[in-house]
Structure 1
Amino acid sequence: MLIRKAVRYRLETTPEQENLLARAIGCVRFVWNRALAVQKSYLDHHCGTLNYAGLCELLTSWRNSEAFGFLAESPSMPQQQTLRYLTQALKEAFNKNSVKRFPNFKKKFVHDSLRYPEPGHIHFDLNPVDRDGRKVLPKIFLPCIGWVKFRKSCIIGGEIRNATVSRAGGHWYVAIQTEKEVPDPVHPSTTAVGGDRGVANLLTLSDGTMFLPVTAYRDLQKKLV
């Protein structure tokens, strides 16, 4: 059985790293909003929508342009990931069996986050020491951000799949999603019994055992009066 779970750690960022993360999140938000505007323009002109590959071509042209060259100063993986999210959001919005609505433009400071989808770009230094040989906080390497200290409150169990950096309550956090294979759970009992709730009897089991209803209020009604 395959289990996926996420562990969340608080980052100990420097002011420079906070500026880089805020800029990277701003670029992700900009890419989402501009790509969504392009998709809405296509829909308004009855031209359908661009697929993920088409959006990636637009992103490449934006990063290489003079007007939007600031996008190239931040990592490209989170920007490509937000295009995947947008593509999936549009697909679900037009699915008749889905209850998802048409995606909205993102606002600043509302669910600020970015995801690194490739685990190969994320590295850890779990036992660092300073120049005097003393242990210091472990570090995680984020592309275009550098080595960032974090509070390792629990172990990282399993194979790392992705990392999501978010901002909440004035602090920065990183959520590491892991994946591992575990044996299927087997109940130790070798027998089974069924139960049926009723009115006359509280519970009747498939082996014939019956449990009478609990009538505490009826039995103590006179005493309560």
Structure 2
Amino acid sequence: MTTHVKRAFKYRFCPTDAQAAELSRTFGCVRKVYNLALAARTEAWVTRQERVNYNATSAMLTAWKKTEELAYLNDVSSVPLQQALRHLQMAFTHFFGKRARYPRFKSRKTSRRSAEYTSSAFRFRDGKLTLAKMTEPLAVVWSRPLPEGASPSTVTVSQDAAGRWFVSLLCEDPSVKPLPATGQAVGVDAGLEHLLTLSTGEKITNPRHERRDRAALAKQQRRLAKKEKGSANRARARLKVAKIHARIADRRRDT
């Protein structure tokens, strides 16, 4: 029996200067639209006890683009901006369902830099991915193959605090198959001397790859805490901390 599930495949890529500039503009516009819509929805509820839905914020976006102050929103693809409004709608759905906190405004310094493109805003052909407003495909490092015949439904581009670029492709993966039931259970205990100990007696050695990185991370975090907020030195120290975090994440993924 084959089960069709959606899976995200994440890859690194190296943008050209023009692509990096376009994506940076898009990230900024996505953040701006999200914050404007959140402010409008909050103001409507506080002053008039009115719930504003996605359709209303989409109409607001059209009006914002026609103003002189926000005309720059027309310079980027409209799809990531619409997706930002959909994400905000989902955040409010979770909030009203008591599954999450009230949505928060996105910060230029601390919020995740990302943009989501649906199928109308990208082209994926012969292993090459080209986003809207771009003439050249992204130089993606295909570290693992996509499922045979896969066609991405959405593409999410992001940049982490260490400055690395990632692209995540959401595809339907028909290769996922449920394993046959064995009727047996195995207990797992996590420890320090051994990474895992199974109830069968098998012990998995703790590779301790992160010991040196953890020490370096603690040292850089102490330095970061001493820097003046808003200063250039603090920004550089924060970047060093982010790079160590990224190195630890890479080693975990490779283990």
Report TM bin, short chain: 0.7 to 0.9
Q: Are positions 1:107 and 2:104 aligned together? A: no
Counterpart in the other structure of 1:80: 82
SS in 1 for 2:139: strand
Deviation at 1:146, TM superposition (A): 3.3
SS of the equivalent of 2:152 reads strand
> C-alpha deviations, 1:29-54, integer Å up to 9, x for none?
00000100101110111332211111
Q: Which has more helix, going by share of residues?
A: 2
Q: Structure 1 residue 4 and structure 2 residue 6: aligned?
A: yes
Structure 2: gaps of 5 or more residues = 187-200, 202-255
Question: Which residue is equivalent to 1:130?
Answer: none
Matching residue's letter, 1:145: M
Structure (1/2) with the larger strand percentage: 1
Do the aligned partners of residues 11 and 146 (structure 1) sit closer, same or farther apart at CA in structure 2, a change above 3 Å counting?
farther
What corresponds to 2:62 in structure 1? 60
Residues 145 and 107 of structure 1, relative CA distance in 2, 3 Å threshold: farther
Q: Which residue of 2 aligns with 1:150?
A: 140
Q: 22, 25, 44: which is aligned to 1:23?
A: 25
Q: Which TM-score applies when normalising by structure 1?
A: 0.72
Q: Is structure 2 residue 178 aligned with structure 1 residue 185?
A: yes
Please state if 1:164 is matched with 2:156. yes
Query: Shift of the alpha carbon at 1:120?
Result: 4.0
Greater Cα offset, 9-18 or 175-184:
175-184
Post-superposition shift, 1:159? Answer: 3.1
In 1, the alpha carbon distance for the partners of 2:100 and 2:18 equals: 38
* Mapped partners of 2:185, 2:72: distance in 1: 64
* CA distance in 2 between partners of 1:183 and 1:164 (Å): 23
Q: Which amino acid aligns with 1:172?
A: W
User: For the Cα contact (< 8 Å) 2:79–2:121, is it kept in 1?
Assistant: no
Q: 1:183 to 1:106 in 2, by over 3 A?
A: closer
In structure 1, list runs of 5 or more residues that go unmatched: 127-137, 196-213, 215-225
Structure of higher CA gyration radius: 1
Instruction: Please identify, of 28-37 and 163-172, the stretch whose mean Cα deviation from structure 2 is larger.
Output: 163-172
Cα shift at 1:121:
3.1
Alignment of 1:43-54 (within 5 A): 43-54=45-56
Q: Residue 2 of structure 1 aligns to which amino acid in structure 2?
A: H
Distance (whole Å) between structure 2 residues aligned to residue 184 and residue 3 of structure 1: 10
Q: Which amino acid aligns with 2:74?
A: A
Q: Which secondary structure does the structure 2 equivalent of 1:160 belong to? A: coil
Please give the root-mean-square deviation of Cα atoms over the aligned residues, in Å. Answer: 2.3
In 1, are the aligned partners of 2:124 and 2:151 still within 8 Å (CA)?
no
1:100 Cα deviation (Å)?
Answer: 0.4
| Ranges of 4+ aligned residues in structure 1 off by more than 6 Å | none
Query: TM-score, with normalisation over the residues of structure 2?
Result: 0.64
